[in-house]
Structure formats: C-alpha cells, structure tokens
C-alpha cells in the first residue's frame, strides 16, 4: 500500500506544472519513490513500431531522451495493452533485447498509458538492476498517475495543434491581405491608365478638330498671299514696304502651319509603338507649340547633340512627355523676376539618348519631391493643374524602357533628366 504522505509529496511536486516540466518532475519523483534504476515515460509510434521516451530518469537524474524498436522487448506487451511485470531475470525472457543486456536490467515493470478514447498511446516503465520487491506499490503509483500523464499528453498535443492552426490562420490572413493589396494596387494602376487615356482622347479630339479648322483658312491666306505677290511683283505698287508686309504674312502662315503640325503630332497618340523618330524633332515641335507662353520673358537655351537622336516608340506620347515637363518648367517661372532660363539640352551615351530640361523657376520643396509622381498631386491652383502631367510622363517613359530623374532646389530651379534607349 502507498502511504498518503508519499502520494501527497508527489502531487505537491507536480502541482501547477505543465508539459515537459510536469513530466520530468513526476518521473523524478516516481523514480525516487519506487527506487528504480531507470524510470521513463514514453509514447508509441505505431507506424514505426517504436517507443520514444519523453522523460527519462537514469540513476536519479534526468537523462537524454531516446527511441527504440519495440521488437523483442517487454514493452511490446504493454503496447498490446497489458501490464508487464518481470520481478527478475527479464533478460532471459527477452534475449534479443540489447538495451536490457547493456543496461544490466534484472527487473521490469511497465504499465500502459491510455488516452480519453481508451487507446494505448504510450507507457510508463521502471527498470531495476536488482529484483523488484514492491510490485503492488509501483503498479498502484503508475495507475494513479497514468491518467494524469495521458491527459497532459493530450493537452500538449491539442496545444500544439492549436498553435499550428493559429499559425496557419495567421499566414492565411497575411496571404489574403497581400492579395487584396495587390488587387488594390492594380486597380489604382488601371484607374490611372483610364484617366490618362481619357485625358489623351479628349485632348486629341480637341486638337485634331482645331488643326483641321485652322488648316482651311491657312490655305486661303497662303493662296491670297501668292495672288497678291503675283500682282504686285514688277508693278508700280511694289515697294520695300509692301515686300516687308508680304514677308510678315508669309512668316505668320509658316509659323501657324508649324503649330498645326505640332497639334497633329500631339494627336497621333494611337497605340503604335514602333515608330522611329528623332527626339530633336519632337523637342523643336514642343517649343513651337509653347512659343506663346515663352514670349520674351523666358530665354530658351537650346543645346542639341550634333547627330539625330533616334528612338523607337510612340512619338505622340513622347511628345506629350516633353510638353508636360516643359509646361511645368514654364509655369514654375511664372511671376518670377530676374533672368528666367529654360534649358533644353540633348546628349547621348553609348546606348541612350539623354534629354535635360532645366528651369530657373520656384523649384520643388523637399517634402514634395517624392510626391510629384502621384496622380493628382498638384501645388497649382484649381483650374491651373490637376496633377496628372508628371505621373503620365513617368508612365510613358517607363513604357518606353527609359528612365526619368529629377533634381530640384526650392527657390532656384529644377532639372529633369530623361533617358531613352537609342535605336541604331
Ligand atoms: N519644373 C517644376 N518646377 C517646380 N515644380 C514642379 C515642376 N514640375 C513639377 N512640379 C511640381 O509637381 C507638381 C505635379 O506636376 P504635374 O505636372 O504632375 O501636375 P500639375 O502640373 O500640377 O498639373 P497638370 O500637369 O495635370 O496640369 C506640380 O503641381 C508642381 O508642384
Ligand atoms: Mg504639369
């Protein structure tokens, strides 16, 4: 029989402990109570027909856990759900059990651990180097604690399963969140494209209409000019003054037709992506189109590379890029005094054409510099800007496998550097 004192001593030692701590404390207490040389709690691996210790006490101290095959061992009997007891000479009954031989075991006592479904999940064992005398006490102790051990094992398993479920749930939530974020980003991108194409479509329609309307009267003027010149030539009315006036008309017609040509180029923003064109032509055209807003106020410093800089893509769209950047530059110089300079330079390296557009305008504040690519970011008053020029420009340059960088100093000016792959 077990003394109540002994039992309460064990219970006190393991109270308020869980998991491995509970198992180790219990095994230690059991080992010292039953005075076994080895005491262990193990679980069965049915598939491998193995037993794995989860708490092992050897000669009074916790030892490293181990796994062993159940074949030819007394533990195999416990596996079949029965108490196994050999007070002495256990090696005789299990001559192939190497562990028993190596550990010099004489007495064996093992009892199954059952889960809440009454299935055998493991065992609790005492190994003795000498004969066992207190069988009843040991078995009673094993039986008293086997329920608590099995419950603890089940609890630990549920806990780890819960933890795993939690993990899975967390990663699922993370996955879904990133999917959602990606969808949102795509949606934003689509929206931008839509806005761009709508803006382009209406601008295109408008400028195509204007170009057409202007072309007709231009032809009248040109016809009239040639007619008048024919009449005047060699007549008594011909003088230096009339020649000057006629020249002025011709100059005006030529400039207007250049602008109309520019408008047409601007309109040509269809989907063609394999036009080859010289960036210089595009820049010249933009400058003609913007001539009115430059006036005498702003001096244009043009410095082009000696050779044509031919790139491939959609000329209408590239035209739009330069127009947006040049317009920003001109707007940045509005209302400023001093020398206002718009620099339009071009150069090249081995693979790329490089266009530099600089201004001596207000500059961009540091805190705004990483926002200018965002659609609808504008510092301009309503009606003056909607904040689409640069995002569209960045997108177009990106579509042309190029890059665009900006440097700006508040109060001094800004420079945009556009790089596009050259065609050979
Ligand atoms: N050269 C520049 N100098 C100073 N600020 C500039 C310059 N270029 C762009 N910015 C700043 O970047 C902002 C965004 O430019 P963006 O061209 O995208 O839009 P916007 O000019 O305001 O409007 P939109 O071009 O649609 O008419 C401008 O409002 C301005 O604050
Ligand atoms: Mg703009």
pLDDT in tens, 366-422: 999 999 988 778 999 876 777 888 988 988 899 899 999 999 999 999 999 999 999
Protein residues with CB under 6 Å of any ligand 1 atom: 324, 328-329, 332, 359, 361-364, 372, 377-380, 385-391, 414
Distance in angstroms (rounded) separating the CA atoms of residues 304 and 288: 16
The values of phi and psi at residue 304, to 5°, are: -100, 150
Residue minimizing CA distance to atom 13 of ligand 1? 378
Distance 390 CA to ligand 1 centre (A): 7
Pocket test for ligand 1, best of 389, 393, 413 (most atoms within 8 A of CB): 389
Pocket test for ligand 1, best of 298, 320, 328, 396 (most atoms within 8 A of CB): 328
pLDDT in tens, 256-268: 887 777 666 555 5
- Does residue 58 have a pLDDT over 80? yes
Question: Which atom of ligand 1 approaches the CA of 325 most closely?
Answer: 8
pLDDT in tens, 213-229: 888 888 889 899 999 99
Place of tokens 């493991």: 122
Give me the percent of the chain exceeding a pLDDT of 90. 56
Question: Which atom of ligand 1 approaches the CA of 413 most closely?
Answer: 3
Distance 373 CA to ligand 2 centre (A): 11
Residue minimizing CA distance to atom 27 of ligand 1? 385
Residue minimizing CA distance to atom 28 of ligand 1? 378
Distance in angstroms (rounded) separating the CA atoms of residues 111 and 103: 20
Give the DSSP per-residue string, 6-41.
HHHHHHHHHTT--HHHHHHHHHHHHHHHHT-SEEEE
Listed residue (321, 213, 204) closest to 269, CA to CA:
204
Q: Which residues contact 382 (CB under 8 A, 6 or more apart)?
A: none
- Does residue 338 have a pLDDT over 90? no
Distance 378 CA to ligand 1 centre (A): 6
CB 126, CB 106: distance < 8 Å: no
pLDDT in tens, 16-36: 788 888 999 999 999 999 999
Vertex 292: Cα angle to 287 and 296 (nearest 5): 95
Pocket test for ligand 1, best of 372, 386, 392, 397 (most atoms within 8 A of CB): 372
Listed residue (108, 161, 154, 111) closest to 132, CA to CA:
108
- What does the mean pLDDT of the chain come to? 89
Q: What is the pTM of this model?
A: 0.50
Residue minimizing CA distance to atom 5 of ligand 1? 364
Please give the domain boundaries of the chain with CATH numbers for all domains: 4-163 (3.30.450.40), 268-424 (3.30.565.10)
């Amino acid at each position: 029989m077990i003394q109540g004192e002994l039992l309460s001593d064990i219970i006190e030692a393991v109270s308020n402990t869980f998991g491995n701590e509970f198992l180790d404390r219990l095994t230690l207490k059991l080992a010292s109570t039953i005075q076994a040389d080895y005491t262990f709690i193990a679980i069965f691996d049915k598939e491998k027909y193995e037993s794995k210790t989860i708490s092992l006490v050897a000669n009074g101290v916790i030892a490293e856990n181990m796994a062993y095959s159940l074949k030819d061992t007394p533990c195999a009997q416990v596996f079949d759900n029965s108490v196994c007891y050999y007070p002495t000479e256990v090696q005789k009954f299990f001559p192939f059990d190497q562990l028993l031989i190596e550990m010099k075991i004489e007495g064996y006592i093992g009892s199954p651990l059952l889960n809440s479904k009454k299935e055998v999940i493991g065992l609790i064992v005492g190994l003795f180097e000498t004969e066992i005398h207190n069988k009843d006490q040991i078995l009673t102790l094993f039986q008293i604690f086997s329920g608590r051990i099995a419950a603890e094992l089940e609890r630990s398993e549920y806990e780890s399963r819960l933890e795993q479920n939690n993990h899975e749930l967390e990663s699922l939530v993370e996955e879904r969140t990133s999917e959602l974020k990606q969808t949102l980003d795509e949606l934003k991108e689509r929206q931008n494209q839509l806005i761009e194409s709508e803006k382009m479509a209406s601008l295109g329609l408008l400028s195509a209409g204007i170009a057409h309307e202007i072309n007709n009267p231009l032809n009248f003027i040109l016809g009239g000019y040639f007619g008048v010149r024919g009449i005047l030539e060699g007549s008594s009315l011909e003088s230096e003054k009339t020649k000057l006036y006629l020249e002025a008309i011709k100059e005006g017609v030529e400039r207007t037709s250049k602008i109309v040509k520019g408008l047409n180029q601007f309109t040509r923003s269809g989907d063609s992506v394999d036009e080859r064109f010289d960036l210089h032509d595009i820049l010249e055209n933009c400058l003609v189109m913007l001539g009115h807003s430059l006036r005498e106020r702003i001096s244009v410093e043009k410095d082009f590379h000696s050779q044509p800089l031919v790139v491939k893509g959609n000329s209408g769209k590239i035209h739009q890029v330069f127009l947006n950047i040049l317009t920003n530059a001109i707007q940045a110089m509005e209302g400023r005094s001093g020398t206002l300079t718009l620099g339009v330079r071009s150069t090249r390296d081995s693979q790329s054409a490089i266009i530099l557009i600089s201004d001596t305008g207000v500059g961009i504040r540091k805190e705004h510099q990483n926002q200018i690519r965002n659609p609808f970011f504008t510092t301009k008053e309503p009606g003056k800007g909607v904040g689409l020029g640069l995002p569209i420009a960045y997108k177009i340059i990106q579509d042309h496998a190029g890059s665009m960088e900006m440097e700006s100093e508040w109060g001094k000016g800004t420079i945009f550097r556009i790089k596009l792959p050259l065609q050979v």
